[in-house]
Every structure is written in C-alpha cells, then in structure tokens.
A = this chain, B = another copy of it.
Amino acid sequence: MNQKPDSYQEMFLNHLSLDCVVFGFHDSQLKVLLLRMKKTREWALPGGFVKKDESFEVAASRVLKERTGLGDIFLKQFKVFSEPLRAKWNPAVRDLVGIKADTDLEWFDQRFISVGFYALVDFSMAEPTADFFSDLCSWKSLDEVDPLMLDHMQILNKALETLRLQLNYQPIGYNLLPDKFTMPELQKLYETILGKELDRRNFQRRILSYGILNKLKERKTGGAHKSPFLYEFNLENYEKALKNGLYGGW
C-alpha cells in the first residue's frame, strides 16, 4: 500500500484509527518500528484506518503486514485514545497527505479516536516498509526515539508500561526471539524490557520452573567462550501460561 486509496471516505470508518507500537529485539536492545513523515519529517507510529467490514484486529494485522511483511503477528490492544483534542492535525501534516479531493480533506480533518495495539515481532524477519505518507520506516531503540507526531509518544509509553506489567504474569519471548535461543539471550530480553539487571543463576532457575522451555541437546557454537545450550519454547505450556498467568513477579 504505497498508493493512496481511492477515497478514504468510502473505504474506511469515520473517526477511527489505530496505532501500533511494534517491538523487536536486536543487539540486546528493545526497538520500536517508526515511520518518518514525508513533509514534516516527524517520526510517527505505524498506523492506519479500519475498513467498513473489518474488525480492529484485522485492520491492525493488515497494517502490520504492510509495514513488516509479516503475517500472524502477536497483537494486543492496550488502550483507546479518545481525548477530543488528542490529535489536532496541524496544517503541515494535513498538507503532507497530498490529497486534493474535498471529501478527503474533510475526512482527515475530523476528530480521530485511535485504538492502540502493541505487537511483538521477530526483528530478523521483519522488512520495514514505509507507507504513502512516509519516506522511511525503521527500527529505533527506545533511547533514541525523538519527539513523535501528535500524541504518539504517550501511546508508546503506555504500550511499554503495559508490556512491563504483563511480564509479571505472562510468558514472553516466543514472538520476539528466533525459534532457538540461549538462556543469556532470553535473560537479556527480560532485562531490556524491565530496564534492570537480573541474576543469571536465579533467572534460569525461575524461568525453568515455569515449564515453558524445552532444553535442546544442541549448543550455540561460533561465539567466544563456553558455548551455551539452546532452548525452544514449549508451545503447549506457553499457551497455557498465556491464558492462566505465570503467578508471581520478577
């Protein structure tokens, strides 16, 4: 979808949008996917609108398929942003959409209520792709996120807060790590999300006690130092833990 759709008015539901906070993990850092707007050069969260016969979930999947090339992404709505003044499109932004038809101009000018989703994706599999309004789509680590468009910074922060809370009672990692991974890699993921360090040995004991991991016979070779064992997620138990919670916090 690098083309402007025929008519927003005809295609999409009024006043509704969605914004996605897409998390990836790379180089021991938590990253988010951002777009750079063509004209204002502001950075923004990937987002989109809801077609007249779509659910929000389907719309978000569609948007993320376009931005990352990935289907079947872990997606979760975390909040509706509906403050009447949350997002006054300034003239520059409105200009940027490159729309001439009066109906579309009007459409972009209306009040938008946005549903926030966060997504967890395998960094190495995603292929960031800009949309019609942006000229760049790329990963940014959390500390290099500049001021974002509209209220997108608030949306990002709320997503991060939600993710950290979920970490206390839900398993995580399946969607962020490759199929096979080492214990230090998993630990680094937790440390990155939580923003603090954990004891290596206690982390292992605890995460293993949840029964969501299968220890493989293979080890990861190639790196320096002692080669660590590889693990994979035990999907059956992982799903169960997603439903029922892990019980206990870090």
Contacts and interface: CB of A to CB of B under 8 A. Distances in A.
A57 B113 CA distance: 12
Contact of A80 (B52, B80, B247): B80
B54 A84 contact: yes
Contacts of A249: 169, 245, 247-248
A115 interface: yes
A136 interface: no
A15 B112 CA distance: 13
A207 interface: no
A168 B245 contact: yes
Interface in A101-145: 111, 113, 115
Interface string A82-115: 1110000000000000000000000000010101
A24 B220 CA distance: 55
A56 B114 CA distance: 11
